[in-house]
Structure 1
Amino acid sequence: MTIDTDNLLESILESISRIDYIHPGDIPNIDLYMDQVTTFMDEQLSSTKRHEDDKILTKTMINNYAKNNLLPPPSKKKYSKEHLLVLIFVYYFKNILSIKDIDTLLRPLTTKYFQTDNSFNLTSIYEEVCAMEKSQIDSVADEIKEKYHQSEKAFPEADAEDADYLQLFFFICSLSFDVYVKKLLIEKLVDQLPEPPKK
């Protein structure tokens, strides 16, 4: 098995440097119908797709989120800017957390800060979280570089034809272990939150 790893690190770091978020100013201030929501999310988050035909959000997903109380119900079949902010959080969390954990995590936000007139609201929470994430990109890139360089030194006794695969496997395992540990930590933190009331 031969794996082209020559530009792997550069490609990964370039992808990381392009990570961005949906800016609140880009979210329409008018309420949207379901088709408009799915179109908007697909356009804004298309860079996060792994495959061209992957769906960011479908009508069924959104209906399920509302049915499972992750998303407050729409008003007259229309979704507000705050609905879209909640959907963005759900979109990212669903890759690592169960629906129940997402509900536990987001319910205080949707209960207290959803469509409130306070200056501290869902938009300001979203902006602060995104600014924090953006500020961490360089340190995440440095951590990935370190793991990559460790993988290059792994399996020095392997045959040349196997070394590329084994080193890539080592790199994937290193990244996976990091995700696994952080997922365990996130779940323990979510378990400290009060369970949302049953509806």
Structure 2
Amino acid sequence: MEKIEDLLTALSLEQNITLENIPDIDLYMDQVIQLFENTYNSTKRDEEEKILTKTMINNYAKGKLFFPIKNKKYSKDHIILISLIYQLKGNMSIKDIKVLFEGLNEKIMTSDFALEHFYNSYLQLVNENVETFKKDVKDIAVATKSEVIKLEDKDEDYLEQVLLIASLSYMSNLYRRAVEKLVDEIIQKR
């Protein structure tokens, strides 16, 4: 279980851009990239990995994942949307994110939609999800260990790790499939 605690700590699950992290002034692209690098640096798999690049942001803009910027500056709402994109792109296609955000972008541009309140709700759910995730991973690790013991193989540590990876990967696929079904519902309602 100690290894699982180390894993959960190493994941830096609590790292998120909060509204307090986002300045009240509009930012240039390099400043946006720096904000993301500073916030998510501990989540990198290796030092070469880039959290956010100019190309990524330009592709999000060209793909109309967020409403147009003004004077080459990104507002707080842009940064919130980029933060959501950053979180979603790990298990959603850019095409699905675009579908998901079309309504949000329209609300932002045509009404007094309080994106900051929406984002705070998202962050609240994220915090709850992190706690649920930690508990679930610990439970799966315990179940994995008991299954590997039944195998009576001398390479228990390795088999335990493979079984845990396979189990977590399967759970990830289940969540991804649920997300895809929900996006399909949005498409059907258009």
Aligned pairs for 1:122-137 within 5 A: 122-137=115-130
Between the aligned partners of 2:5 and 2:39, the Cα distance in structure 1 is: 24
From 94, 97, 103, give the equivalent of 1:102. Answer: 97
Superposition deviation, residue 157 in structure 1: 2.8
Count of residue pairs the alignment pairs up:
189
Closer, same or farther: CA 147–46 of 1 in aligned 2, 3 Å: same
Contact 2:12–2:43 at 8 Å: present in 1 too? no
SS of aligned partner of 1:136: helix
Deviations 1:59-102 (A, max 9, x none): 01100000000122220111111110010000011110111100
Closer, same or farther: CA 41–16 of 1 in aligned 2, 3 Å: closer
Between the aligned partners of 1:105 and 1:39, the Cα distance in structure 2 is: 26
SS of aligned partner of 1:19: coil
Closer, same or farther: CA 32–192 of 1 in aligned 2, 3 Å: same
Identity of aligned pairs, percent? Answer: 36
Deviations 1:9-40 (A, max 9, x none): 12123346751321102201111111111111
Between the aligned partners of 1:67 and 1:195, the Cα distance in structure 2 is: 24
Contact 1:17–1:137 at 8 Å: present in 2 too? no
Between the aligned partners of 1:195 and 1:103, the Cα distance in structure 2 is: 15
Closer, same or farther: CA 17–127 of 1 in aligned 2, 3 Å: same
Which residue is equivalent to 1:159? 153
Unaligned residue ranges in structure 1 (runs of 5+): 1-5
Superposition deviation, residue 136 in structure 1: 3.0
Unaligned residue ranges in structure 2 (runs of 5+): none
Closer, same or farther: CA 107–42 of 1 in aligned 2, 3 Å: same
Does structure 1 residue 170 correspond to structure 2 residue 163?
Answer: yes
Which residue is equivalent to 2:3? 8
SS of aligned partner of 2:186: coil
Does structure 1 residue 88 correspond to structure 2 residue 80?
Answer: no
Closer, same or farther: CA 85–130 of 1 in aligned 2, 3 Å: same
TM-score, normalised by the number of residues in structure 1: 0.87
Tell me the amino acid that sits aligned with residue 132 of structure 1: L
Between the aligned partners of 2:60 and 2:188, the Cα distance in structure 1 is: 17
Does structure 1 residue 188 correspond to structure 2 residue 178?
Answer: no
From 58, 61, 66, give the equivalent of 1:71. Answer: 66
Tell me the amino acid that sits aligned with residue 176 of structure 2: K
Contact 2:8–2:134 at 8 Å: present in 1 too? yes
Deviations 1:107-156 (A, max 9, x none): 1111103595x3x5111100011011112322221111110011112233
Tell me the amino acid that sits aligned with residue 41 of structure 1: F
From 14, 34, 37, give the equivalent of 1:19. Answer: 14
Higher helix share: 2
Tell me the amino acid that sits aligned with residue 61 of structure 1: M
Between the aligned partners of 2:139 and 2:109, the Cα distance in structure 1 is: 41
Q: CA RMSD in A?
A: 2.1
SS of aligned partner of 1:166: helix
